[in-house]
């Protein structure tokens, strides 16, 4: 995928390690409280987050408008 189609959020997520603690992400106007970044597929711009209950949120990072990192 061309870098011209990659949002600034995707560019930041590419730099984070799996296991980075998150407080929340905002996707299409809906804020979701997630626990950690499980993985990031840079080729397809897909981010996978884990909720506190263990469920997964799999999202195209171009749809994420903001995120909040958790203090460790």
Task: Give the torsion sign (CA, 54, 59, 65, 69).
Answer: positive
Rg (CA), the chain: 11
- Determine the structural domain holding residue 11 and report its residue range: 3-69
CB 12 within 8 A of CB 69: no
Tell me how many domains the chain contains.
Answer: 1
CATH of residue 17's domain is: 2.30.30.100
Q: For every one of its 72 residues, what pLDDT tens digit does the chain have, with 9 covering 90 and above?
A: 445 689 999 999 999 999 999 999 999 999 999 999 999 999 999 999 999 999 999 999 999 999 999 987
């Amino acid at each position: 995928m061309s870098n011209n189609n990659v949002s600034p959020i995707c560019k930041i997520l590419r730099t984070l390690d799996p296991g980075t603690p998150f407080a929340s992400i905002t996707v299409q106007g809906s804020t979701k409280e997630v626990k950690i970044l499980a993985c990031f597929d840079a080729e397809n711009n897909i981010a996978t987050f884990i909720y506190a209950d263990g469920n997964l949120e799999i999202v195209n990072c171009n749809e994420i408008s903001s995120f909040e990192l958790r203090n460790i």
